[in-house]
Amino acid sequence: MQLASVHFRQRASGALADAHLQRTLERFGSGFADKRAAARQAYGEGAFEELRDACAVIRDRALADLDAWLLRFEEEATRRGASVLWAEDAAEACARVLEICARHGLRKAIKSKSMLSEEASLNEALAAAGVQPVETDLGEYILQLAGEPPSHIIAPAIHKDLGQVAELFVKHHGRPKSDDIAQMTREAREMLRPHFLSADLGISGGNFLVAETGSVAIVTNEGNGRMVTTLPRVHIAITGIEKVIPTLEDLSTLNRILPRSATGQEIENYFSILTGPKRAGDTDGPEQLYVVLVDNGRTRLVGSVLQEMLRCIRCGACMNHCPVYQTVGGHSYGWVYPGPMGSVLTPVFQGLENALDLPQAATLCGACHVACPVKIPLPELLRSLREMQTQRGLRPWSERAAFRAWAFAAARPRLYALATQFAARALKWMGGRRGRIARLPLAGRGWTEGRDFPAPEGKTFRELYRGGQRHKT
Ligand code: SF4
Q: What is the mean pLDDT of residues 130-139?
A: 97
Beta-bridge mates of residue 109:
133, 201
In this structure, is the dihedral angle defined by the CA atoms of residues 417, 418, 423 and 429, taken in order, positive or negative?
Answer: positive
| b/e sequence 153-189, b meaning 16+ C-beta within 10 Å | bbbbbbbbeeeebbebbeeebeeeebeeeeebeebbb
Identify the residue whose C-alpha is closest to ligand 1 atom 2: 372
Least confident of 207-211, 215-219, 221-225: 221-225
409 exposure class (CB count in 10 Å sphere: 0-12, 13-18, 19+): middle
Q: What is the mean pLDDT of residues 323-339?
A: 96
Is residue 319's pLDDT more than 60? yes
Alpha-carbon span 233 to 110, nearest angstrom: 11
Is residue 441's pLDDT more than 90? no
Q: How many residues does the chain have?
A: 473
Strand pairing category for 108-111 and 132-135: parallel
pTM of the model: 0.90
Alpha-carbon span 313 to 200, nearest angstrom: 29
Identify the residue whose C-alpha is closest to ligand 1 atom 8: 315
Choose the residue to mutate in 60, 306, 314, 345 for probing ligand 1, maximizing ligand atoms within 8 Å of C-beta: 314
Q: How far is the CA of 400 from the centre of ligand 1 (A)?
A: 31
Alpha-carbon span 214 to 25, nearest angstrom: 40
Q: For residues 324 and 363, is the Cβ–Cβ distance under 8 A? A: yes
Residue 449 pLDDT level (bands cut at 50, 70, 90): confident
Alpha-carbon span 405 to 399, nearest angstrom: 10
Identify the residue whose C-alpha is closest to ligand 1 atom 4: 318
Identify the residue whose C-alpha is closest to ligand 1 atom 7: 312
Q: For residues 421 and 427, is the Cβ–Cβ distance under 8 A? A: no
Is residue 137's pLDDT more than 90? yes
Q: How far is the CA of 341 from the centre of ligand 1 (A)?
A: 6
Q: Which domains are present in the chain?
A: 5-299 (3.40.50.10420), 397-472 (no CATH)
Question: Which secondary-structure segment (H or E) carries 34?
Answer: helix 31-43
Four-point Cα dihedral 221, 225, 227, 228, nearest 10: 160
Residue 462 pLDDT level (bands cut at 50, 70, 90): confident
Q: How far is the CA of 156 from the centre of ligand 1 (A)?
A: 16
Residue 403 pLDDT level (bands cut at 50, 70, 90): confident
Alpha-carbon span 269 to 225, nearest angstrom: 11
Which atom of ligand 1 approaches the CA of 368 most closely? 3
Q: How far is the CA of 166 from the centre of ligand 1 (A)?
A: 31
Choose the residue to mutate in 52, 55, 301, 315 for probing ligand 1, maximizing ligand atoms within 8 Å of C-beta: 315
Alpha-carbon span 274 to 235, nearest angstrom: 10
Which atom of ligand 1 approaches the CA of 317 most closely? 3
Which atom of ligand 1 approaches the CA of 321 most closely? 3
Alpha-carbon span 341 to 382, nearest angstrom: 9
Which protein residues touch ligand 1 with a CB less than 6 Å away?
312-318, 341, 371-374, 376
Q: What is the mean pLDDT of residues 339-355?
A: 96
Is residue 473's pLDDT more than 60? no
Residue 469 pLDDT level (bands cut at 50, 70, 90): low
Helix crossing, 413-431 with 461-472: angle to 10°?
90
Q: For residues 443 and 398, is the Cβ–Cβ distance under 8 A? A: yes
Q: How far is the CA of 111 from the centre of ligand 1 (A)?
A: 23
User: How confident is the model over 362-378, as pLDDT tens digits?
Assistant: 999 999 999 999 999 99
Which atom of ligand 1 approaches the CA of 309 most closely? 1
Strand pairing category for 132-135 and 288-294: unpaired
